[in-house]
Chains A and B, each alone.
Chain A
Amino acid sequence: MIRRQFLLGAAATVAFAVTHPAFAADTIKVGLVLPMSGPFSQYGQQMQNGIKLFMKEHGDTVAGKKIELVIKDDGGIAPDRARRAVQDLIVRDKVDILAGFTFTASALAAAPMAKEAEKAMIVMNASSSGITEASPYMIRIGQTLPQITEPAGRYAGEQGFKTIYTVVADITAGHDAEAAFIRGLKSTGGEVAGSLRVPAQNPDFAPFVQRIKDAKPNAVFAWLPPGEAAINFIKEFNQRGLAAEGIVMLGTGDLTDELTITQTGDAGLGVVTTGHYSMAHKSAKNEAFVKAYLADYPNEKWPNFLSVSAYDGMAVLYHGLEKTKGDASGPVITEALKGEKIESPRGPIEIDAKNRDIVQTIYVRKVEKVDGRFANVEFHEFPESRDSAAAK
C-alpha cells in the first residue's frame, strides 16, 4: 500500500515536471563551480559565504525572478572535475548562468561548454591573464595576477630602491608575477638586480633567504603560492634578520592573505603588498560588509578577496538581470554588463566593455597590527588598473 502510494506520487511528480515547463521560467538557476572539498575548501567556503551574504542582504528575487543556486564541487585545481560539473549543470540541472570558478584551470575547462550553450560565465576568482577570450560570454569579477602584481613594480620604482631581487615559485603563475613586476618596475625606469626561482613545493627556504641576505638588496619582491610556502618564506626572512637589516619585502596580496595572516604572525609585520582587497579597506561599504560577514560566520576565517569577489559577482549578476528584465541568456546579459560599474566593498570596479575583464583600484598595503589583529593597511593606490599583460 505504501509502495503503491509512493509510485503514484513519483508518477505524479514526473508528469508535473513534464507538463509544466513554464514552472522553470520564474526561476533563474545559477550553477556555481567551487572547491568545496580538498585542500582549497576554505576558498570555496569563503566564496559561498560571500554569495549567501549578498543574497541575504538583497533577497533571492530579482526582476521578478527567483534566484536558485546549484553548487557543484570541483575539489580544487581539477579541470576534469570542473568540466564534468559544468556539463552536469548545463545538461541535467539546466542552469541559466554559470558562476564561481576559483582556479584558471576550472574556468578554462568550462569555457568551451559555456560558449557552446551560450551561458554567461561569471568568473569570481580565476586570475590568469586574458582568460575572458575563451568565451564571449565570460565576465571576470575577481582579479588578474598581472593586474595586482604590476603596481608592486611601479611602487618599488617610485620608492627608488637601488637593488631589488625577485623570488618567485617556479610555476607558471610565478613566472607571470615575475614578468609583471619587472614590467611595472621598468615603466618607472628601475631594474632588478637578480631573479630567483624556487621550487613551489619547498620545505625549507633557508638557503634561498640566506642567498638574498648575503646579496644585501634594498628590497625583495616575492610571489609564492598562498599557504605554507608564503608563511614559511616570511618567517625565515624574519628569523634571519633580513627585515631587521632594513630589507623591504614586497609581494602581492597572496603573501598576506587574511586566511594566513595570523599564522604568519609578527614575522609579517611591515611586509608591503599590492592587492585589490583588504579587510581593513576604509569605506562605509566595506565596514558594513565585514561586520555582516563576521556576524554571520563568527567561526570562520576572516573575509578575504574571495568572499568579496563572490559577493560582487552576485551584485553584478543582479544588476545584469535588472537591466535585461530577467533575461538570463548568455549573449543578452553579457552585452548588458559590458562597461558596468559598481561600488564594491573593495572600492569602485568596472567591467571592461572591450574584453569583459575586471578594472579596479589596486592598493599598496602594509601589514600592521590594528586593534590586536593583523591587517593589510592601505596607504597608496593605483586607480583603474587593468590586466597589464593582456593589454600588450
Chain B
Amino acid sequence: MTSNIIGILFDGLAYGSLLFLVGVGLSITMGLMNFINLAHGAFAMAGGYVSVYLGQKLGMSFLLTLPFAFLGSALLGLVAERLLFQRLYKATHLDQVLFTVGFVFSSIAAAHYFFGASQQMSAMPDFLQGQTRVAGVDLGKYRLLLIAVVAALTVALHLTLSKTRFGAQVRAAVDNQDAAAGLGINVGLIFSLCFALGTGLAGLGGALGIEVLGLDPGFPLKYMVYFLLVVVVGGAGTIRGPLIAAMILGIFDVAGKYYVPEAGAFIIYVLMIVLLLAFPSGLGGKRA
C-alpha cells in the first residue's frame, strides 16, 4: 500500500514536472514582461518539431536534440519578437490576445504545411524506456528524466534571475522601464532576450513532452489550457510559483485519477478554482 502511494506521488511529481516544463516559459513572457502571450504553445510545438526533425532526418539521439530544441525555439522567438511581438508591448491586453491567437492559427497552418497533420514520434533511447525498481517501487525512467531536468532548470533559472547581472537588469526593466532605461539599461534588448528565454524554454518543454503529449499541428491549442493553468495558479512572473503550482496540480491530478477515476477529468479544474480563491494573485504572489 505504501509503495502504492509512493508510486502515485512519483507519477504526480513527474506529471507536475511536465506541466512546469511546458508552462515556465510562459511565466517569463507573460509574467515578467506583462505580455498576454497565448502563442506560447506555438513555440513549444516548434521545439518539438526541431527535436523530431533532427532525430528522424539526422539520426541524432533524443537527448542531443534537446539543446537544439531550446535554441531553435529561442531563435524563432527572438525573430518573432523583433518583427512582431515588440510592436504590441504597449498595446491593450485584448489586442495582445487577438494577435497571439492569430499567431497560433498561423503556426498551426505552417506546421501543417511543413510536417503534415500526422502525429510525430520522438525516438526514445532504450535506456529511457520502461521502469527501474528503487526500494521496491517501480519508477519510470523517462519520468525520472523529467524530474531531473526540472530540478536542474529551476536552480539554473533561479540563479540566472537572482544572481547575475542579466537577472538584475531584467528585474529592473520589469519594475520600472523608464528608470531602467534612464540608468542606461537597453530595455529593448533585455526584453528580447527575456522573450527568447521564455520561448526557448517552451521549445525544450515541447521536445521533452512529445513522449506523453504527442506532437501534431493542433498542439498549441490542445494544451493551451495547461500552460495557462500553471502560470495562473502559480502566479506569473516567478519561477517558484509555477513550480509549486505544477507540482500540486500534477500530484492531485494523478492521485485523483487513480483513486477516483470517475472524477478524474475535473480535479485539476476544481483545484484551480480553490487555489485561485485562496490565492487570487497566484501561489508565488505578485512581484512588487
Contact = CB atoms under 8 A, between A and B. Distances in A.
A207 B118 contact: no
A11 interface: no
A197 interface: yes
A241 to B, nearest CB: 6
Interface residues of B, number: 41
B119 A204 contact: no
Given A196-B261, A204-B15, A301 B118 contact: yes
B264 A198 contact: yes
A199 B265 contact: yes
A231 interface: yes
Given A228-B216, A232-B214, A241-B138, A203 B7 contact: no
Given A198-B264, A231-B214, A263 B7 contact: no
Interface string A2-17: 0000000000000000
A206 B261 contact: no
A42 B218 CA distance: 13
A263 B138 contact: no
A207 B255 contact: yes
B212 A239 contact: no
A40 interface: yes
Nearest to B217: A39
A197 B261 contact: yes
A329 interface: no
A36 to B, nearest CB: 10
Contacts of A240: 131, 138, 140
A203 B229 CA distance: 14
Contact of A239 (B140, B223, B255): B140
Interface in A211-252: 211, 214, 227-228, 231-232, 235, 239-241
Nearest to A196: B261
A40 B223 CA distance: 18
Interface in B73-105: none
A202 interface: yes
B38 interface: no
B61 interface: no
Interface of B: 4, 7-8, 11, 14-15, 18, 112, 116-121, 129-131, 138, 140, 142-143, 211-214, 216-218, 222-223, 226, 253-258, 261-262, 264-265
Closest 9 CB pairs of A and B: A228-B214, A199-B265, A207-B257, A207-B258, A263-B121, A206-B11, A41-B117, A207-B254, A42-B117
